[in-house]
């Protein structure tokens, strides 16, 4: 079945450091790919998305490119802030199953000042 | 205006009780979902309804019963609560086209004692 694998956390960075959170997927067909962010005590918010190969999603300084050849959708940010501390989830949309979102296990990001 | 609202936000109850969680969305979306997030932050889909029709029913104990009176509401009723049901339950909604991703509620933290 479809699945998403994310790098394990927690990831701890100093403010202004470069961030990469790796995400790879296994899917039949061509799913849409998403990154969601969950701040403490809150629900998940859509951070960015890409719907086809080579698309780049971007939002709030975060970027991710849909790479079909490596089945990856890595999240990057050039300079993190303390306010970016949260849990980040990579997900794919399983079009064959009612657009069910399949999530990775989540990666905790901690940014120190 | 809250797009996807869940009530209650916190629910503490004893084993064996029956409880309900309510969810409403004002986005005009066709599809609504229930997800369970465990203590390790792992997210798993439980149910999905499209315009009041059940379309996804994952392997969930039949003590859990979703009810959708109309396409803006999806409630979750749980009978005979067990300790292992303790988790955060998220409601979400999406347009019929899965490329737009989901909008999540802020979650209901259920604690069974």
List, as one string, the DSSP characters of B28-47. --SEEEEEEE-TT--EEEEE
- Residue A97 in this model has a pLDDT that exceeds 80: no
Q: Which of A42, A43, A44, A107 is nearest to A77 (CA)?
A: A107
Residue of chain A whose alpha carbon sits nearest to that of B49: A98
CA nearest to B91, candidates B30, B56, B42, B46: B46
Determine how many CB atoms are found less than 10 A away from the CB of residue A1.
8
Q: Residues 31 to 90 of B: which have CB under 8 A from any A CB? A: 31, 33, 40-43, 45, 48, 50, 55-56, 90
State yes or no: pLDDT of A15 exceeds 90: yes
Range with lowest mean pLDDT among A20-24, A29-33, A78-82, B109-113: A29-33
Arithmetic mean of pLDDT, A62-79: 97
Q: What is the pLDDT at residue B19?
A: 97
Is A98 close to B31, i.e. CB distance below 8 A? Answer: yes
Q: Are A64 and A81 spatial neighbours (Cβ–Cβ below 8 Å)?
A: no
Half-sphere exposure of A4 (CA within 13 A, CB side): 29
pLDDT value, residue A41: 86
pLDDT attached to residue B38: 93
**Average pLDDT value for residue range B83-107:** 90
Which has the closest alpha carbon to A87: A57, A47, A55? A47
Give A33→chain B minimum CA distance, Å: 8
Mean pLDDT for the stretch of residues A82-101: 89
The per-residue pLDDT for range B41-71, each reduced to its tens digit, is 999 999 999 888 888 888 789 999 999 999 9
Contact residues, chain A, for B90 at CB < 8 Å: 43-44
Contact assignment for A43 to B40 by CB distance below 8 Å? no
Q: Is the pLDDT of residue B2 over 80?
A: no
Of residues A41 and B24, which shows the higher confidence score?
B24
pLDDT band at A29 (very low <50, low <70, confident <90, very high): confident
As a whole number, the mean pLDDT across chain B is 92
Query: Would you say residue B14 has pLDDT above 80?
Result: yes
Which of A64, A99, A100, A110 has the most B C-beta neighbours within 10 Å, making it the best mutation to test the interface with B?
A: A99
Inform me whether the pLDDT recorded for A23 exceeds 80.
Answer: yes
């Amino acid at each position: 079945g479809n699945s998403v694998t994310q790098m394990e956390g927690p990831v701890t960075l100093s403010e202004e450091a470069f961030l990469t959170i790796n995400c790879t997927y296994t899917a039949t067909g061509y799913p849409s790919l998403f990154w969601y962010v969950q701040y403490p005590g809150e629900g998940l918010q859509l951070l960015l998305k890409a719907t086809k190969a080579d698309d780049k999603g971007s939002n709030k300084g975060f970027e991710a490119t849909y790479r079909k050849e490596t089945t990856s959708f890595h999240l990057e940010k050039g300079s993190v802030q303390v306010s970016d501390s949260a849990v980040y989830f990579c997900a794919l949309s399983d079009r064959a199953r009612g657009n069910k979102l399949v999530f990775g296990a989540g990666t905790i990001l901690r940014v120190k000042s | 205006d809250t797009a996807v609202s869940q009530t209650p936000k916190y629910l503490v109850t004893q084993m064996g009780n029956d409880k309900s969680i309510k969810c409403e969305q004002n986005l005009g979306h066709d599809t609504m979902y229930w997800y369970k997030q465990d203590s390790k932050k792992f997210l798993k889909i439980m149910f999905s309804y499209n315009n009041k029709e059940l379309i996804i029913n994952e392997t969930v104990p039949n003590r859990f019963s979703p009810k959708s009176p109309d396409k803006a509401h999806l409630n979750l009723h749980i009978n005979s609560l067990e300790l292992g049901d303790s988790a955060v339950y998220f409601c979400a909604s999406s347009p019929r086209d899965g490329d737009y991703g989901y909008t999540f509620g802020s979650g209901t933290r259920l604690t069974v004692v």
